[in-house]
Structure formats: C-alpha cells, structure tokens
Amino acid sequence: MDYSKYSTNLAILSLLLATVILLCSRQNLSYKSLIFSSENSPKDDLQIALERASTPEKTLIIVVINEAYVEPIENEYPTMFDIFLEGFWIGDGVRSLVDHLLVVAMDEKAYNRCEYRRMNCYKLAAAADGEAFAGEKVYMSNEFIEMMWRRTAFLLDVLGRGYSFIFTDADVLWLRNPFKKLSSSGSHDLEISVDKFNGDESSMANPINTGFYHVWSNDRTVSLFRAWHEGRRNSTGLKEQDVLLKMVRRGALWKLGVRTRFLDTLYFSGFCRDSKDVESVATVHANCCRTIKAKVLDLKKVLADWRRFKTEGVVNKTAGFTWTAHGACMRSWKSKG
C-alpha cells in the first residue's frame, strides 16, 4: 500500500473538513450575534410608543393631528381634537379604547396638547424645520397633499414593524366599538370605509375613503402600502386616497392578494351618506366637507343628535329619528377662502 499517498489524501480531507466546520461556526456565530444585537439594541421613540399603546396582539388605533386640530377656531371651543375625544367619552363601549389610541402629532403644539391630556403621544418629524405641517391645510392644497403622503409613509413604517391598526381621522366620531364590526381573525387584510356604499362588500367599484380603515400587518399589506407610497412619484397633484383608488380600480389589490372588505355606511357612516340606523352605527365621519371650521360645527350637531338618542325613552327611540343636516359642510364648498 502507498502509505504516503494515503497520508496525503487524509491530510487534504482533514483540511477540507476543518474548513467546513470553521465556516459553519462563523456563520452560526454571525447569525447569533445578529439576533443578540437586535434584541439588545436600543428602541427608538416610535417603537416605545407602539408598545405602550398596543394590545398584547400588537393592535392599536392611530390618529394623526396637527396644530389646527388642537387650537380653537376663532377663539371658540371645542377644538376638533376635543370633539374627537368626546366621542370616546359618550359613545357606547369605547371609553376603554383610548388606552390603545396612539396620537401622532405633526407639530410641537399638537404634541404638547396631547401630552397635557396624558395620552399615548408620538411626535412625527415632518420636515427639516419640524413645523411644515402646523396649521390648517385646506383640502387638496399642496400642503394638504404633502401631509397625507407623509402620513402614509409613517403608517407603512408601523405595518413593517408588525403592528396591525385602525387608522382614523380626527374628524371621525366613535359612537360604538368598531372592532365588533371588523374582522377579528385576519380573514380580511384590509377593511376600508367608503363615501357611498354600493351594497357589495367586495366590489372594487366602491368609492374608498382613507379616513378610516383597519389593516392587518402581513407581507401582503406591507407590499400594498409600499406600492401605494411609491405611486406618489407618478401622481403629481393627487392625494394619497386618489392614488389608492386608482390602484383598486386597476386590480392592484387583487394582484397582491390583499383580501379587502369595503365597509357598509350603515355601520361606518359619514356626511357623504348618513347611516339609516342609529341603533347600529359605529362611526360618523365628517367627510364631504372642506374646512375644519365646518367639520367642527356639524360634528357638534352629531354629538347633540347622539345625546338626544341616548336620553330618549326606550319606546320611540328610533321612531322618526333623523340626523341634523350638515349645513356648514355643505356651505364650505361655496367658499374657496
């Protein structure tokens, strides 16, 4: 037997085996180091805020406000933010949901007002000067459109961190717990409000409204929000709702596999179309309205209508009940100031 050749082959085999073991050990060490680093890296302010507001299942409610929502109009109270919170106070079974509400402030005044109320607050860096989104942004102005896109980018970040949420505009009154009318098992990835419901929860012809929606965090919804935000590049002059509507119409949600439900205005109503059943309505949105002043005036009437409904006797509670006309919002479209 050629022992020298045998020894040479054995040495080569041993060297190869040692190399493989070393590479595997380094790869495993690198992976473990990465996990260790991730688990022990400091949390940023957003992560802290999300953990504080969310349920154990990583679900929360998000509202975005700025100075215009917390300052009185013409020195008259309540503010829009006051009215928004009043809905949680007088609504049925919604008071405890405030514990899971994250208030995202786009300027210093809004953040300070949130902190004063001892709520779950997070200040969103808006621009280099930090105050680019302070004050009222009139519907469809350039500033309004920019603010809506900044909001979408933020919500994409939240989804990417594994949090599911209801997003609500601050001009939405929560009169009953909407979670009871929404998917609790993730059977729908996205449940979104509409201006006027066409009777079919799966119809892509429904005119969506991004002022209220429920979204589950998963690969499909993250892909949707990423594509939605990227759509801004070819959509100059369009707000984020218009871009998402175009995506819906072109079948983007279907292609991404996003299981979508369009919400019935019987339960998720608005000024575009009032709910016909006060016994069932969960939310009322001051949509189809141009200015914050008009929204405040007409939402105060909604609160008065709700109190009237709640204080009437059991008999005839709904007999003849009608919502007060949203006159201020109707008139808001006549003024372009």
DSSP 296-330: HHHHHHHHHHHHHHHHS-STTSSTT--PPP-HHHH
Give the three-state DSSP class for 212. strand
Q: Could you report the per-residue pLDDT of 265-288, keeping only the tens digit for each?
A: 999 999 999 999 999 999 999 999
> Are the beta carbons of 217 and 159 closer than 8 angstroms?
yes
Which tokens is 112 given? Answer: 């300070």
Domains and CATH numbers, the chain: 45-264 (3.90.550)
- The H or E element that residue 192 is part of is strand 190-194
- φ and ψ at residue 6, rounded to 5 degrees: -65, -45
Question: Which residues, 6 or more positions from 144, have their beta carbon under 8 angstroms from its beta carbon?
Answer: 137, 138, 239
User: What's the pLDDT score for residue 15?
Assistant: 54
Question: Which residues, 6 or more positions from 314, have their beta carbon under 8 angstroms from its beta carbon?
Answer: none
Question: Which residues, 6 or more positions from 207, have their beta carbon under 8 angstroms from its beta carbon?
Answer: 194, 195, 196, 245
Q: Could you report the per-residue pLDDT of 122-169, keeping only the tens digit for each?
A: 999 755 444 555 554 444 456 677 778 889 999 999 999 999 999 999
Angstrom distance (rounded) from CA 70 to CA 236: 30
- By mean pLDDT, which of 103-107, 123-127, 139-143, 325-329 is the weakest? 139-143
Q: Could you report the per-residue pLDDT of 197-227, keeping only the tens digit for each?
A: 999 999 999 999 999 999 999 999 999 999 9
**Residue 234 pLDDT > 70:** yes
* pTM, full prediction: 0.84
Q: Is the dihedral of CA 126, 128, 133, 139 positive or negative?
A: negative
Q: How far is CA 204 from CA 172, 259, 262, 271, in A?
A: 23, 11, 8, 21
